[in-house]
Structures are given as structure tokens and as C-alpha cells.
Amino acid sequence: MGYSVDTKSDLVTTVHSAISASVTSANTTPVDCRNYNAILIYAELSDTPNWSIDIESSDTKEGAYIDSYDGTLATDKQLTTGSLTASRIVLYKGIGNWVKVVPTRTAGTATIKVQPVNV
């Protein structure tokens, strides 16, 4: 079964531009994902990269941002990329109304963009 994606290209937001250090949740701008059920993460990595990207969600813009999971208690999986050593696009389903993209750096430089979508 394939995905049917409802999206608008003008919704792509650069949340981190040419960063070379980890960013905490407190220093990350929230992305409005109301009316969408998923996001595409565009991770453009360079300079021998090694990054992981976690997704945090909240029901309100000023609310508490917590780790996002997809699944049930028995099989849930945290919305994280794990170790990335090359550029990629990642689809995450099961997001909250407001999302923060929190990158952790081991090496390299990253530009990270977010696009809300419906799948």
C-alpha cells in the first residue's frame, strides 16, 4: 500500500541553517503542524557528518515539548533518525500540533528543513 501525500511546497521551513553544533529544545523554533498528521525532515549534511535528529511535540506553541513516539505502548518507537552520516529525507507520522526538530551533532554541518504533510 502506497502513501497519498497532501502537501504544499511553500510550507517548507528551514529550522536550522548550516549549524555545526548540537541545538537544545529550548533554542529550537516550533513549527506549526496543525491540520497535518506527518512531517518530512530534509537533512542536508556535509563535512563528514554524524548527526541524530529527535522530534518533540506539543499541543500548543508555548506548551511543554516532549519526545514523540509512533505506535502503542508495546511497540512504540521514538521519532528519531538515529545516526545519520549522509543527507536524507525522513517521513514521520504521529506528530503533535507543534513540532520541534532537535539535532545532536557528533561531527559535520547540517541544514534541516521541515515540511508538514498529510499521509
Per-residue confidence (pLDDT) for residue 1, from 0 to 100: 47
Specify the 3-state DSSP secondary structure of 95: coil
pLDDT on residue 105: 94
What pLDDT, on the 0 to 100 scale, is given for residue 77?
Answer: 74
- The C-alpha atoms of residue 69 and residue 71 are separated, in whole angstroms, by 6
Q: What is the pTM of this model?
A: 0.85
DSSP reduced 3-state for 26: helix
Q: Hey, what CATH topology would domain 9-117 get?
A: Jelly Rolls (2.60.120)
* pLDDT for the residue numbered 21: 95
Among residues 51, 55, 42, 53, the alpha carbon closest in space to that of 93 is found at 55
Report pLDDT for 7. Answer: 53
Domains of the chain, by residue range, sit at: 9-117
Under-50 pLDDT residues of the chain? 1
